[in-house]
Chains A and B, each alone.
Chain A
Amino acid sequence: MSSPSSPTAATIPSVGRISLPALAATSLVLVTTALAFVFFVAPNDANQGFSQRIFYFHVSIAITAYACFAAGAWQAFRHLWKRDSRADLASYVCVHQGLIFGTLVLLTGSIWAKIAWGRWWLWSEDQLVLFLVLFLFYCAYFMLRFSVDPGSQRANLSAVYALFGVILIPVSFAAIRLAKNLIHPVVFTLHGPNFGGWILVTYCIAQVAMLVLAYTLYRLELGSKRLDVRLRRLREVMA
């Protein structure tokens, strides 16, 4: 903590090497650059036309959501392996971030589906349904976590659950490739991405922007959660 008169400025504990303001500034620059590329540089798709521009953020956000869930599983593994309570909190924040990005995937995907298929949702599409299953699985993570009193039991149960959830990520990712009816576009194949030129450049910028944004939000939330825990302990000591 710095001076008592301005506690907020320095109350968020540092949880990484790069400072939070620097990360926030980088996120802002990257997201702005990505938006400029999406709307002013990337060409219109030959088949889908202008509506294809949703893809740049939709796919980037989907990959970011997968990355958040995978990071949550990794932190859960660290918690189970080393019994580190900080890893439990980090796992929780990762899953929370994953759900936020997952919500955005479902929303942007539905909007794209309305343009491309004329429907907001198609239950016959395996990848859509599997992503929804993954999303609901992680929603249930919060139900489990908050139904158990805080402590080691809650941390262990949450860690095991988050670790199991990671199995659904490759299933969800591979679903479209295993599906027989290929209505949903395949962006990445075994031979690499299905696009090149400015479309690939724009996608890469959008992907990096989303990953950096997710990391910034993760750092912000984890810092405030750790501060919350420390304050709760202080209050308990003073009571």
Chain B
Amino acid sequence: MTTAEKYVTAAYCVVFAGVLVYLLIMALKLQRLERDVEEIERRVPDEDTEDVEREPARVG
């Protein structure tokens, strides 16, 4: 491998690594967002459970 070939390979590896690091950061961020969504889902009461627990009310 000549010096020029080494440098050209290095340049393309830098581009590839840059995009890869960016995607890694985005993946980590999406994992955090997923955890946040799950946390909110846990805090929101389940509609079906709520219906079962609700006492029947007399109408009229």
Out of A8, A50, A213, A235, name the residue touching B5 (CB < 8 Å).
A50
Contact partners of A235 in chain B: CB under 8 A: 36, 40
Contact partners of A104 in chain B: CB under 8 A: 14-15, 18
Does A138 lie at the interface of the complex (its beta carbon under 8 Å from any beta carbon of B)? no
User: Is the Cβ of B37 less than 8 Å from the Cβ of A100?
Assistant: no
User: Is the Cβ of A231 less than 8 Å from the Cβ of B37?
Assistant: yes
Interface size, chain B (Cβ < 8 Å)? 26
User: Is the Cβ of B34 less than 8 Å from the Cβ of A50?
Assistant: no
Contact residues of A: prevailing secondary structure: helix
| B-facing residues in A1-37 (Cβ within 8 Å) | 1, 4, 7-8, 11-12, 35
User: Is the Cβ of A231 less than 8 Å from the Cβ of B40?
Assistant: yes
Does B43 lie at the interface of the complex (its beta carbon under 8 Å from any beta carbon of A)? yes
Contact partners of A203 in chain B: CB under 8 A: none
User: Is the Cβ of B11 less than 8 Å from the Cβ of A11?
Assistant: no
The interface bits of chain A over 55-97 (1 if a CB of B lies within 8 angstroms of the residue's CB, else 0) are: 0011001000000000000000000000000000000000000
Closest to B19 in A: A213
Question: A51 to B11, alpha carbons, bound, how many Å?
Answer: 10
Closest to B12 in A: A57
Closest to B44 in A: A238
Contact partners of B30 in chain A: CB under 8 A: 8, 12, 224
The interface of chain B, by Cβ under 8 A from chain A, is 2-5, 7-8, 10-12, 14-15, 18-19, 22, 26, 29-30, 33-34, 36-38, 40-41, 43-44
The interface of chain A, by Cβ under 8 A from chain B, is 1, 4, 7-8, 11-12, 35, 38, 49-51, 53-54, 57-58, 61, 100, 103-104, 107-108, 111-112, 114-115, 213, 217, 220-221, 224, 227-228, 231, 234-235, 238
Instruction: Give the 6 A-B residue pairs with the shortest CB-CB distance, closest first.
Output: A51-B4, A7-B37, A111-B11, A50-B4, A108-B11, A54-B11
